[in-house]
Structures are given as C-alpha cells and as structure tokens.
Structure 1
Amino acid sequence: MMDFLLLFCIVFVKFVAAEDGHRAWLRYAPVPDASRYRYLPSSIIALNSTKSSPVYTAGQELQQGIKGILGKQLLVNTNGTRKTDTLAIIVGTADTYTKIYGDFDEAGDLEEDGFYLSTEGRNVLIIGSNERGALYGAFEYLSRLGQANFEEDSYVDNPHAPIRWVNQWDNLDGSIERGYAGPSIFFRNGFVADNVTRVAEYARLLASIRINGVIVNNVNANSSLLSTRNIEGLGRLADAMRPYGIQLGISLLFSSPRDLGGLPTFDPLEPTVDAWWANITEKLYAHVPDMVGYLVKANSEGQPGPLTYNRTLADGANMFARALESHGGVVMFRAFVYDNHINPANWTADRANAAVDFFKDLDGKFDENVVVQIKYGPIDFQVREPASPLFSTLRNTSTAIELQVTQEYLGHQDHLVYLAPLWKEILDFDMKADNRPSKVKDIISGGRFRRPLGGSAGVVNVGTNTTWLGSHLAMSNLYAYGKLTWDPSLSSEGILQDWIRLTFGFDKTVLDTITSMSLASWPAYENYTGNLGVQTLTDILYTHFGPNPASQDNNGWGQWTRADHTSIGMDRTVKNGTRNAGQYSPAIAQQFENIETTPDNLLLWFHHVSYTHILKSGKTVIQHFYDAHYAGASAAQSLLTQWSSLRGKIDTERFEDVLFKQTYQAGHALVWRDSITQFYCNLSGIPDEAGRVGNHTHRIEAEDMTLSGYKTYAVSPFHAASGPTHSAIVTSTNTTTGTATANVTFVSGLYDIAVNYYDLIGGRASYELSINNRTIGTWKGDLEDKLGHAPSRFLDGHSATRVTFRNVTVAKGSTVRIMGRPDGVEAAPVDYVSFLPVGVWD
C-alpha cells in the first residue's frame, strides 16, 4: 500500500508540474522558505460583497494566491467591522475603509487607480483610491509573496498616466491581423463570441499588470460591429471584464453612417451624421455603461475619414468626442495617417514626415476628451526608429504612445525579442522642447505640457493558444508593457527578472540564463535583420516576416532605404533631403542634421551615404553590415545553446515548446544573415573582407546533387537561396517522389547535419535524410501547424527554414541522400545540406 501511495504522489507531482503557459505569471506556485513569513493574517476582509466589484475580486484573488503560494487557506469576509480580534488582510477603497476604520494618513497621497500597501502593522492594508486601485494593490501583494519578498513595507503607488490600454486587432470573422496565437477570443463568424470565459481570464491577466482598458476589435474596423446583435454582445464582453476593472472600448469605421446607417454621407460636419453617431453611442452605453471610448483610424491605408470631404482630422475626432462627452468617454485618434501611394522618384518625399504634416496645424483644435495616439517612431514599429517628432509638436493636445507587443516586424513571436529595452529607449528620449527637459514618457503622461489625459496603447493580439501570445518567452513583453505603462522608470532587467521568477520559479541558473537570453535578443535581432537605422529589412509587401530588402524600395509605401549600387540610406536632412530632421526641436534637429553627431545606429535613417562611408567604429558601412549580420546570427545560435542548458530545470512541456522556437530562430537567423549579406554584396559589388559572404565551405547545394524526380527551381528573391545559381530543387510533379544524392567529400568525423528547405502553406511534404542507406532522420513540412504564422506560399525568405540532426558519424565518400515526397502544392523543396563539425554554425 505504501508503494502505491508513493507512486501516486510521484504521478500527481508530475501532473501538477506540467504547465502549458495558460496561467502565465499568475501561477501562484509555492515559494521556498514560505515558513519565514510568520505574520500572515488569518483572514481576508474584502470591503465589497458585490461579485462584479474589483474589491470582491481582490478578495477572491488573495484567497487563491495565498493558498497556492503559502499553502494557507484563508476565509474571505466581506463585512468589515471596526473591532477585530484576528489579524486580517483588509482590501478596499479609501472611502470605504475610512467609513469603517477611520482615517489613514496616506489617503491624500492617492491618485486615481493608485493604492496604498502596508505589511508593517497588525493588519495587511491594501487600500485603493478606487476599486480598481484596490485590486491592483492585491496583485502587487501577491506578486511580492510570489517572489518570496516577505519584507515589511508601506508605500503608495500611483500610475504614471491615466490611459493604460491595449489594442486588439481582432476581426469579426475570428481572425486577428498580425496575431500569432490562434483565433480571436472575442469574435466568431461575424459576431461577438458567446463563451466569454477566456475574455475574463484575459482581463485578469491585464488587471494584474494594471491595464485599465481594452479596444477589442481591429483598427481596420467593420461597421457590422454596431449591429444590434453585436452591441448586445459587447455588453456581454464588458460584463466579463468589469470584475477586473477593465473597461471595454471599440474601434470604429468612419463610414459606418453610410455603410450601416443608410445615410448618403459620412461627412463629420453634416448634422445627420453627427446625430447618427450620437444615437449609436447612446445604444452602446445602454449595454456598456462604463465603455472607455472609441479608437479611430481614418484616412490611412485606404480607410475612409474626414479628409474624404475636405474636413480636418480634428473635425472627425471631435465628432466622436461630442458623442462621448456626456458619458465620460475618450476618443483615441490615431496619428498613423499617411499616403501609401507616394512617389519614390521624388527625393524629398518621405512617409516619416506624414504625422507632423497632418497634425501640426491642428494642435489645440481637438476637444479635451480627444487623445492623439502616436506610434513610437515615424514609420511603423521598426527594429529601431527615432522617437516620433509629433510628441514634441503637439503642445496643446493630449497624446498617447502606441507600442506593439505583437511582433509584426520583429519575428512574429517565433524569434525571441525582448522589447522593454527598445521601449525604454523611446520613453526616455529627451525631445528637448523649448530647450527644456521633455522626455517622451513625461509628454505622454500629460505632465510636460500640462494636458489632462495621456498614456499608452499597446497592440497585443492575444489568441486562443494556451500561451496567449503563441510563445512562452514572448509573454515577457506583455508583462513589461503593463509595468512600463504604470511606471516607465522601472528597469528592463528588473521587470524581466520579476517576470522570470513568477513564470519559471527561483532557480538561479534559470533566472540568469533567461535574463541573458532576453537582454541579448533585441541587439541580436537588429544585427541579423537591419542595422544602422536602415529599418527591419523584411518583406513589407507580403508577410512582414522574412528577409527581402528589395521590397522596401520603389513602391508607394514609403519604407524606403534608397539603396543602389553605390549608396544607401534616407537623406532626411533639411539641407539636402526630406527635411524630416527639421521636424524635431532645434537641439535635436541640429544633432540629426549633422552626420558627425548622428549616432551610427540611426545613420541610415537620417543620411544617405556610400557603402564605403567610414563609421565611428572605423568600419565601412558595408563591412559593418557583413559583420553585424554574422554576429547577430551567431548570437541566435547562442540563444539556443543557453536555453538547451536548462533541460531538467523547467517543466518538460514549456521547455520543449521554447526549445522548438529557439531551434527555429537559430535556423532562420542564418537565412536572414545569408539573404541580407548576399543581397548587398551583389548590389554594391564590394566583397566581405573576411571572405564569408557567398562562401559556404560546409554546404552541398541541392542543385549540385544527382537528382531523380527532382528539378532545379530559380528562387525569387534570389538571395533566399544559397549558392552561385540561387536555386533550389522541387519535385518534378506534385505527385512524384524525388531523391537527391551526393558523395560526402568532407573528412570523416562527427557532424551536425543541417538541411535547409522551404516550408510552404498548402501542403505538408515529408522528407527522409540518409547516409549510405542508413536513415538519419525524417521530418515533415508542417510548420504551419507549429509556428504562430503561416510562412509563405512561395520559396522565399519567409518559408526558408532548416532541420538539424546532431552528432552523426560520417565517413568521407559516403552517399548522402535526401528523399522528398510532395503534398499538395508543397513540392518538397530543398536548398542545401550542410555538414557541420560540432560547434560550427555554418
């Protein structure tokens, strides 16, 4: 019997230890040395018994968290009394606490959504300025306990800015634009989803990092969101989120009065249009009485807006502001307004100028409940941009910064990129307006220009995947976003390590390793994608994922690099270029105007230079490109090595999930490295001083192998394939099994054998690698089932990937064979096979 019980306990421990990421940082796992916390109160008093109240929620959360973290079951009492014989955790609002227990000195220090936390006295006090603040304080207390922080302390914690929102780019059909974690939790088949369980869980996550608003639908909005059925459904979503203090908002299609309402116009100065929006707003507030407001994208990327009728953007924003004013709602009006058909032949044309050009003359003309939502840089969530000059242009208008948690241009959550350092760089940037300290973080708070509103909007795009974002490690970005919206003075490393402890536990090796990986990830990604301020050299015309630098130029989208055979970079100077540098305050403009004072990491953003231009490092631009891309790709291999070292220290499910992602990133970083360096080597005609570019001594090109049932295929863009012919092989037909064979000419020894192939949408081809008829490994082209995005329909930099079989003994003269069986449109494409001595990256 004892053996059976022991076996049961072992199985049970393994079962509960398995984790799928669903609980994120709210795991409430037992902490070491919990017995050191000797003064845990014996009960919880939540000063509100209404189940939709965030204070009631706080009581339930405290009960759940303390049971998990400390192993103590505490009763929750919702009837506070002045006299109590037992030690208690008291959570409630300042007003309610004062009525029952009398005044406390810190009440006057509390700002909206702020809280007071004290663990020093007889009771633990968690007192919010409002109900939401009380819930934030409860999560703060649990976060401290969850990190084994049992120190006695008392402090007030207030938010840096009032607006702390997330934007979801969810579509009514259930898809998510730039979402990499499965379908929408909000919508299905054209309507609001019936099951709101996941919505409530998302609200809980957001409340724990002090987010207070969610825009639930895509900025590229659909007017049918305003149908009667969907308005009722929005009420259901709001009800699910209200216990967590999360207020719902929606994105609007500007032309809805015409498209849905049947009016002949959507002119914002037409009284019937104004009345239509007032009426629909009343209907919305009837179902969502605490709706936070509207988000509007207008006259951008083909979207309708006030400019359609020669009205100003302020005319459009103020129309919504009037409808919302009596309800206390806010209009977030996106500054992402630009012409996507600009002429690349015009040397002075510049998409980066658009936001200031459109908004500078409107400053002070927006109603008080309008906030202009500004992307952090002048273009579009690139790996590095300067802070948008619009932040210091709008002095009499409330503003918010738009950040992107979802990694649209930064690897689609299939590449590890910890974004807090990037965001911190922007938030801490001093715009020097009027030669006074003017950090972006102080502008968006409303403090610098004394505005009543301001804050942050983060594009998140969670889906139904258990990891929320499609990647366990990507969740550090959501956590960091919430923490920085509340307090941008926090350090990237400190935020990260809090998240690691709450997500993965207390093992120091785990803490140090994930910290090292995460802090290295943004520099690595910048290095192997696009450096020196040239932007992320992805395919901007297709999936925004893999490399395709040529796609940046000679189109109307304006994300140009101006690369030709001799030179590269956007001339944004006032003297010779687009005058973008002159949109900044004089002190900043002077810095960026001068090539000598422009930092090298923004050189190609502001200046057009020859490939032989000498950087401050002493390298030429082109050699820096080569060196940086090789260094970045090497760093990506190190990320894989570091994560692999954690086997046995992290539960198997999460370890294997992250291992798959890091393995993929390591392979795709090499695709990026080879593509970008080969492209610029061909374009400039300047070879790599180290002789690396185009010279791959460990590879056998697939087109050079003996083919049966396979044929060569010219890859486009050319640089997405290895070798002098830039070709791959595909099966002769979509039903023919192909084989490619070659004799191994490398010395006998132990190798990692890597096969680079292309994994397309529309099929799941199968492959087999053998040496002398001995099967080394098999795999399928099924990454569309495993990655957070479908890579591509074509053989290109998006679909290029690799599989590696490690520690294979190979004799010189052996026959290597790749057999490919096509499936659907995926004709088992192969680029090359590499024989890598152990420790060599290719």
Structure 2
Amino acid sequence: MMLKLLHYFLFTGLVAAENGRQAWLRYAPLPQGHSTPLPLSIIALNSSTNSPVNTAGEELQKGIQGIFGKQLSIFNTGKETSSAVVGTVSQFQKAFGSSPVKDKLEEDGFWLNIKGSTVQILGQNERGALYGAFEYLSMLAQGNFSNVEYATNPVAPVRWINSWDNMDGSITRGFGGNSIFFADGHVVSDLTRASEYARLLSSIRINAVVVNDVNANFTTINPENIQGVGRIADIFRPYGVQLGLSLDFASPMELGNLSTYDPLDPGVIAFWDDITKQIYDRIPDFAGYLVKADSEGTPGPMVYNRTLADGANLFAKAIKPFGGIVMYRAFVYNQLPDEGDWKADRANAAVDFFQPLDGQFDDNVIVQIKYGPIDFQVREPASPLFANLLETNTAIELQVAQEYLGQQCHLVYLPPLWRTILDFDLRVQNQSSFVRNVITGEQFKRPLGGSAAVVNVGLNDTWLGSHLAMSNLYAYGHLAWDWTSDSEEILQDWTRLTFGLDKTVVDTITQMSMASWPAYENYSGNLGEQTLNDILYTHFGPNPQTLDNTPWGQWTRADHTSIGMDRTVSNGTGFSGQYPPEVAAMYENIETTRDDLLLWFHHVNYTQKLKSGKTVIQHFYDAHYEGAETAQKFVTMWQSLKGKIDDERYEDVLFRQVFQAGHSIVWRDAIVNFYNNISGIPDDAGRVGHHPFRIEAESMELSGYQPYVVSPFEAASNSIAIVTSTNSTIGTATKVLNFTSGVYDLAVSYFDMYGGNSSYQVFVNNRMVGEWVGNIVDIGKLGHTPSIHLDGHSATRITFHQVPINKGDMLKIVGQANGVEPAPLDYVALLPAGVID
C-alpha cells in the first residue's frame, strides 16, 4: 500500500513541499509517460575524490536515480555500449584507444553524444566533462530524450561570480541572509552551503568565484584566513570552480606594517609577491585577484600619483608566475563632481581614467567594466569604455543582485536588460563591434575576456531570498557561455527544471518574467532617467529628490520646466563624444536618440514631444500607471498556478508578488506626484492626485494617533501619514463610510519600519475584517535593505478581499506601536471589483 501511495504522489498533480535549496538541480521524478532507454552503468574515467570527472559520475548517478528511480553503479572501466561514459578526451583515448570527438574542443568545452542507452560525455578538461554531465541531466529532467551529437565551447575563458560577502558574515546588498563563507571575521567551519553553491555554479558553467566584497578587508589575507579560504577552495575543487579574492590596496600598511602602499615601492612589491606565494602554496589553482581602487573612498595608486595601470600591474606581475589573472574594476571615481558645473558628469569617469592607459596593462590584466557608465541602473547606454580599450583585455560586469532593481522583492528578469547592452553595436572604426564580441576578446584579438556578475547568495534556502530571482543567476551562467542564447528559452529551461513540466506553469512564469523588467522600468524610472530611487540611503524605494542636489553625480537636472542631462558635445558634458563617431552622432542628435534614452543624453522641456507623439511628462504619467497595473496582474497570474506548485514555494512567491503589487503603487504615486508637483502640468487622464476610492488616514477621527508630515513628501498619499502619539500608545482611527453598498477589496497603506513590529486590526461595524503585524522586514520575510523612516522604502500595503460594505458603516483601524515603529498608517482604499487604486 505504501508503494502505491508513493507512486500516486510522484506521478499525479499533487506536489511535495520544497524549500528551493536544490534550485534547478531538483532531479524531480518525471510525470508518467516520459521514458527513454537509459545507460545500464556509469563509467567515470577518474575516481579521485577531488576530480570533477568523479563528481560527474556521482551527479549522473544521483540525477538518474531522482528522475527515473533507477540506481546505476559507477565504474572506472568497462564497455562503452549501454553505458554513460564521462571523462576528458585524453582519458577516453587512454581507456578505449581512440576519440569519437569530431569537433575541436577549447578549454572547458565538451562533446555530448547520446545514442539511446549509450552516452559519451567528453570534456577538453575535467571541468568540461562535468559541464557535459549536467547538460545531459538537464535534458533528461526536462523530458528531452533526443539522440544528439554535438560539441560546445565557451565564448570566453572568464565566467566569474563576484560575491560581496564581508568577513563579519554580512553581505553588502545581501537580500538572502548572511554569508555562506564568513562569520565573525573568519571562514565558517561548516562549508556545506559553499559546496552546494559550487554545485549550482558548475551546472551553469561558472568557473570562478571571488568570495569577498570588493570593498575588501585586509584581514582576509592574514595567515589564518588564507588557510580558511583554502578550505573553501578545497570544497569548490571537485566542481571545477576556482576561488578568487578581492584585495584591499592599502594592505601593505594595514597588514604588512609598511609606511606606504605605493605600487612602485620595492617593499610593497615584495609584500604582494609574498602574499601571492602564500595563497598559491595553499591554493594551487587560485584563480586570481579582483581589485577596486580609487573609488568611493577606497585606497589606490592615484594616492601616490601613480596610474591605474601601475596599480593593476603590481598584482599582475605578482600573480603571473602562477598563471593567475587580475580583474581591475573600471568603477573609478573619488572626486565627486560639482552639480553646478554644466559640464560635470560622473558618466565620463571610466573613459577619462582608462582610455589614456590603453595598451599599458599587462596581458594578464582584465579591466572589468560595468555594463553602463553609472551603476547598474534600470536602463543605461552601453559603457563607451568598451569602445575605447582596443589593446586591453576587458570583461563586462553585470549584477544578479538587484541593488537598484527591487532587491529581489520585485520580480525583475534581467537578461532582456543585459541584452540591450550585449547586442549594442559600438561601430568601432565604422565596423560592426557588438559589445558581446568586445568582451570575449574576439573583436580586438585580445587573449582574455569574459564576464563577472555580482551575486548575493546567502543562507536563505532560496539562496537569493526569492525563488523567481534565481532565474537571473541561471541565465547569467548560460549567457556567459554563449551571449547569443535566447533569454526566453533560457527562462523556460529554468522554469521546467525549477517548477516542473506543466505547460501552464512554464507559460505563466515566462509571461510574468518577460514582462517584469519593462514593468519595473515603467514604474521606477524611464526615458533614460535611471532608477529614481534613494541613492543616499537604501537604493530600494522611490526618492527622486536624492538624485539631484547631491554630489553623487546621478543627476536628472529636473526643475520646474525641464528635465534630463545634456550629455552632448555641442552643449553638454561631452559624454556622447566618448563613443565612436557613428554612435556619437546618433546620440548627439535628439532626433536620432531613442526615446528610452532621451533624458540620458538630452535636457528637454516636459512638453517635448516623443516619437510616440506624447509629451515627456505625459509619458511619465502613463508609463508609471501602466507599470503598476502590470505588477497587479502578476498576483492573479501566480494565483492561477495554485495546486500546480508545492505550497511552500507557491506561498512564498505569492507573498512577494502581493508586496510588489502594493509597492509598485507606492512607486507610481511617488514619481507621478513628484513630477506633477515640480512641473505643475496635469495628467491628461486625470489620474494623478485623484483617488476617489481612498480615505486618507489623517482625515479620519483619531484617538491616540496624530498626523505626521512624511519626508520625502511624495512617499505618502497627500504627503501626510498618522503615527501613535507615543511608542507605547494604542491608536484608533475611525471613519463613517460614504461608499455605495457592495463588496470591496479593502487595502491599507502603512509603513513597515525596521526596529519595531506594530500590530493592526481592521473593523467594519466592530466586525473584524483582518489583522496583521508589521514585521515583514524584521523577521526576514522580505530581504530588502530596511528603513527606520516613514519613506518610500518602508511604505507597503496589505489587502483584505471581498469585504461587504454598506453605506454608513463605521470603519475602524486599531494600531499598537512597538519598538521604534509607531503603527504608521497612510490611507485606506475601498476598491470595487476590477479597480486598481
């Protein structure tokens, strides 16, 4: 009877609970009707426990057991027929006398040959063989039983991850829990999660991980911690993942007791030679260094009037004898620009600093360039530095961590954004010069190149804090292997592997994800105005005021009549002239500049007509309403999948989609109110400032509550919220309802601050409609950077559905303050069916 029940649960629509820790490597049993001839055994041509080929054999065993319930034995020799043979080409030749590989394999490449129950998985190296094993298992897990024979090679040798983990265990922009590597200044003793992470990364063909933050702590390279990171490298090695480290440029003074960190000083050179030798003595396959210098207050060579090339080459020379590389970040700006200077522009910095040094970097240095010239914004033009380093190795820096893009609380599938950069033609020397070809080294015949992605995995079972955000990590790996891969096809593969083969599930998640970046751009900032969030504080919620009147150089130059940065050569900052002539001419001319980058390159009146025929300000209004409306649809789309996805993951994603729907309205209202206020131009559709279904909290009869003027003003409806008079007070707000009798969704907008968990109850005629606790930040249900203020970061909504309301009913909300959080409320909305507030 137990076997029958097990079969029933495995092969019917019922789904077992999952927490997401296995991500896309679940190896879930296939539904009935999916079968294929399987190998009778596995032959792994290396049995060493540190060998990726041995790992490949174990992974094949585990995968086939999970997908088909069939246990295969692993051998190191045997007959090819009806076996899955995995190893390198040379290992296969040694075992069987000849190689079946018909195509040239490059480093990390593999050849896959499937003929029924006979499977050959051969890599150029052991890492490539493991990649091939994961490829075969991915096919099986998706019910793809094709007989295939093909070779595949990476487009670039560098496919790295940059972790922003700190030695104390925190993670900069960490939205999924604390570090899997560090705690209390040391490497953690239990590296189970690090091993699981290496497995995930190997399956998407990532070959190295820099495990610590670019704002590096010098203690990372003390003797104890070199031994500690050596243990991480040992855990990574069976998966073919190498370890890299970020360096603190001033370490010779902080750790070496020198009086200088001048890169040309003999003592400094000796210091880094010694540190590098210590690292390679412990980690023979160490990948290399990542260096952030002379940026955001970090030390660097310019302190001593040395060049950035001097700084990079210091490390390059130390590491070259061991075969390592240096990734030197182009994110360099220590001199904050003066907003009063119309010619000042932080976007110019990368080319200004690095272009004069082209050809001066050693051949094992790669200049790592953020995809746009500012900082991981919702839309930027491709960095012109890609077109200015013809004799220097380059790599693109992407960000899986959604620092400015919803911090994994908002669904934003990133590959379509990345493709706007990767597929951009820079027209260097009037020839086709796609960014994707520049970064691989192909365009300018450079020996090294590739990519690095900032990834903020933590101890949360979901890794990134969000199940759906994992699609970005999966996609990064596959794109880094081949930048021409289709973003939607990658997404569908990920969905099948993560949530199963149900077509409705795949189609729905695809539709949501592909609509997510355009929606987020629409409600968070568009026409090239970057992400209009708070750049001074958490980078999460709306606060367009902080972009201007600050020294950080992410200006919009918005005033009462006009908006946008003039980056033309003729009248502005000259940024457009950093591109090759054809591209420069396109951006110099407002008529040939795309609307979605108009305000990046041009300062225009709010009444400037776009190519769509709309004015700039009306586009702002319309886009923000359209974006928020799309976010509301994500909730109902996800709800349609109930019963098709296990309850744990279903509820977790639903919670985040409901939050995003509410926060998108916070975003929408903040941005449209701000620009309506500054421009004085009304919305043609009459929506801005007009909310017939809202009851402002300050308009209710208050007891124990008092009005509070919110700053920034646009973060609250009508700029005012209510808070309890003391932090131990119970507040009550009441209102006689003058709404037509009917059934409504009752939405309450409130503020969930860090450092307190206020509790709330909602009554209609003393009948409780609902209750909740404002604890989504404190208990980690949401992983965004929290706020201790009433602002666009802490603003959120909760909705109670299908509430019967009669005209004349008494609405009452009771709030109990807790900690520093004074039970803050903004408004209540009573929404008829189908109405979006």
Same fold (TM over 0.5): yes
Residue 678 of structure 2, aligned match among 675, 678, 683: 683
Residues in 1 aligned to 2:729 and 2:517: alpha-carbon distance in whole angstroms:
43
Mapped contact 1:401–1:455 kept (Cα < 8 A): yes
Q: Do residues 566 (structure 1) and 561 (structure 2) align?
A: yes
Distance 1:112 1:712, change over 3 A: same
Residue 166 of structure 1, aligned match among 156, 161, 164: 161
Residue 220 of structure 2, aligned match among 218, 225, 250: 225
Residues in 1 aligned to 2:775 and 2:721: alpha-carbon distance in whole angstroms:
19
Residue 494 of structure 1, aligned match among 468, 475, 489: 489
Cα displacement (A) at 1:461? 1.0
Q: Do residues 718 (structure 1) and 716 (structure 2) align?
A: no
Mapped contact 2:403–2:539 kept (Cα < 8 A): yes
Which secondary structure does the structure 2 equivalent of 1:828 belong to?
coil
Runs of 4 or more above 3 Å deviation:
4-16, 32-36
Correspondence 1:69-88 to 2 at 5 A: 69-78=67-76, 80-81=77-78, 84=79, 86-88=81-83
Q: Do residues 664 (structure 1) and 646 (structure 2) align?
A: no
Correspondence 1:6-45 to 2 at 5 A: 17-32=16-31, 36-38=35-37, 40-45=38-43
Cα displacement (A) at 1:9? 7.6
Distance 1:680 1:65, change over 3 A: same
Q: Do residues 748 (structure 1) and 746 (structure 2) align?
A: no
Cα displacement (A) at 1:421? 0.6
Cα displacement (A) at 1:85? 7.6
Residue 57 of structure 2, aligned match among 35, 40, 59: 59
Residue deviations 1:398-427 (CA, integer Å, cap 9, x gap): 000000001000000000000011111211
Cα displacement (A) at 1:280? 0.5
Residues in 1 aligned to 2:80 and 2:434: alpha-carbon distance in whole angstroms:
50
Letter in 2 for 1:523: P
Cα displacement (A) at 1:546? 0.2
Letter in 2 for 1:804: T
What residue number does 1:264 align with?
259
Alignment RMSD (CA, Å) = 1.4
Cα displacement (A) at 1:16? 7.7
Residue 702 of structure 2, aligned match among 707, 711, 715: 707
Letter in 2 for 1:36: S
Residues in 2 aligned to 1:543 and 1:34: alpha-carbon distance in whole angstroms:
50
Cα displacement (A) at 1:123? 2.4
Residue deviations 1:764-818 (CA, integer Å, cap 9, x gap): 0000000000000000110112101243100000000000000000001100001
Q: Do residues 112 (structure 1) and 110 (structure 2) align?
A: no
Mapped contact 1:32–1:148 kept (Cα < 8 A): no
Cα displacement (A) at 1:98? 1.0
Correspondence 1:179-194 to 2 at 5 A: 179-194=174-189
Letter in 1 for 2:435: V
Letter in 2 for 1:782: N
Decide which moves more: 113-122 or 250-259. Answer: 113-122
Q: Which runs of 5+ in 2 are unaligned?
A: none
Cα displacement (A) at 1:10? 7.1
Residues in 2 aligned to 1:773 and 1:621: alpha-carbon distance in whole angstroms:
48
Cα displacement (A) at 1:36? 3.5
Residues in 2 aligned to 1:258 and 1:171: alpha-carbon distance in whole angstroms:
20
Mapped contact 1:34–1:70 kept (Cα < 8 A): no
What residue number does 1:601 align with?
596
What residue number does 2:728 align with?
735
Residues in 1 aligned to 2:152 and 2:665: alpha-carbon distance in whole angstroms:
45
What residue number does 2:45 align with?
47
Distance 1:428 1:11, change over 3 A: closer
Residues in 2 aligned to 1:444 and 1:46: alpha-carbon distance in whole angstroms:
35
Correspondence 1:129-528 to 2 at 5 A: 129-339=124-334, 341-528=336-523
Letter in 2 for 1:211: I
Aligned positions, number = 834
Letter in 2 for 1:65: G
Residues in 2 aligned to 1:756 and 1:805: alpha-carbon distance in whole angstroms:
12
What residue number does 2:689 align with?
694
Decide which moves more: 119-128 or 480-489. Answer: 119-128
Residues in 2 aligned to 1:331 and 1:481: alpha-carbon distance in whole angstroms:
21
Mapped contact 1:413–1:469 kept (Cα < 8 A): yes
Residues in 1 aligned to 2:254 and 2:450: alpha-carbon distance in whole angstroms:
32
Mapped contact 2:247–2:290 kept (Cα < 8 A): yes
Residues in 2 aligned to 1:281 and 1:334: alpha-carbon distance in whole angstroms:
19
Residues in 2 aligned to 1:331 and 1:117: alpha-carbon distance in whole angstroms:
33
Correspondence 1:527-606 to 2 at 5 A: 527-606=522-601
Mapped contact 2:85–2:120 kept (Cα < 8 A): yes
Residues in 1 aligned to 2:753 and 2:35: alpha-carbon distance in whole angstroms:
55
Residues in 2 aligned to 1:109 and 1:269: alpha-carbon distance in whole angstroms:
43
Residues in 1 aligned to 2:377 and 2:563: alpha-carbon distance in whole angstroms:
17
Residues in 2 aligned to 1:239 and 1:372: alpha-carbon distance in whole angstroms:
28
Cα displacement (A) at 1:120? 2.7
Which secondary structure does the structure 2 equivalent of 1:325 belong to?
helix
Mapped contact 1:43–1:86 kept (Cα < 8 A): no
Distance 1:11 1:590, change over 3 A: closer
Which secondary structure does the structure 2 equivalent of 1:422 belong to?
helix
What residue number does 1:767 align with?
760
Residue deviations 1:431-467 (CA, integer Å, cap 9, x gap): 1101111111101111000000000000001000000
Distance 1:776 1:394, change over 3 A: same
Cα displacement (A) at 1:340? 5.2
Percent identity reads: 64
Residues in 1 aligned to 2:35 and 2:288: alpha-carbon distance in whole angstroms:
46
Letter in 1 for 2:734: T
Residues in 1 aligned to 2:415 and 2:81: alpha-carbon distance in whole angstroms:
43
Letter in 1 for 2:328: F
Cα displacement (A) at 1:178? 0.6
Cα displacement (A) at 1:103? 2.5
Cα displacement (A) at 1:368? 0.5
Residues in 1 aligned to 2:7 and 2:591: alpha-carbon distance in whole angstroms:
67
Cα displacement (A) at 1:69? 1.1
Residue 68 of structure 1, aligned match among 66, 69, 83: 66
Mapped contact 1:414–1:665 kept (Cα < 8 A): yes
Residues in 2 aligned to 1:733 and 1:110: alpha-carbon distance in whole angstroms:
70
What residue number does 1:636 align with?
631
Mapped contact 2:40–2:117 kept (Cα < 8 A): no
Residues in 2 aligned to 1:438 and 1:105: alpha-carbon distance in whole angstroms:
36
Mapped contact 2:520–2:627 kept (Cα < 8 A): yes
Residues in 2 aligned to 1:791 and 1:248: alpha-carbon distance in whole angstroms:
31
Residue deviations 1:607-658 (CA, integer Å, cap 9, x gap): 0000000000000000000000000000000111111111111110000000
Residue deviations 1:113-158 (CA, integer Å, cap 9, x gap): 0000000377210000000000000000000111111011100010
Residues in 2 aligned to 1:372 and 1:239: alpha-carbon distance in whole angstroms:
28
Decide which moves more: 430-439 or 128-137. Answer: 430-439
Residues in 1 aligned to 2:34 and 2:246: alpha-carbon distance in whole angstroms:
49
Residue deviations 1:308-362 (CA, integer Å, cap 9, x gap): 0000000000000011001000000000001352110000000000000000010
Residues in 2 aligned to 1:94 and 1:741: alpha-carbon distance in whole angstroms:
76
Residue deviations 1:265-304 (CA, integer Å, cap 9, x gap): 0000001100000001000111111000000000000000
Letter in 2 for 1:20: N
Which secondary structure does the structure 2 equivalent of 1:165 belong to?
strand
Letter in 2 for 1:833: V
Distance 1:124 1:30, change over 3 A: same
Mapped contact 2:540–2:784 kept (Cα < 8 A): no
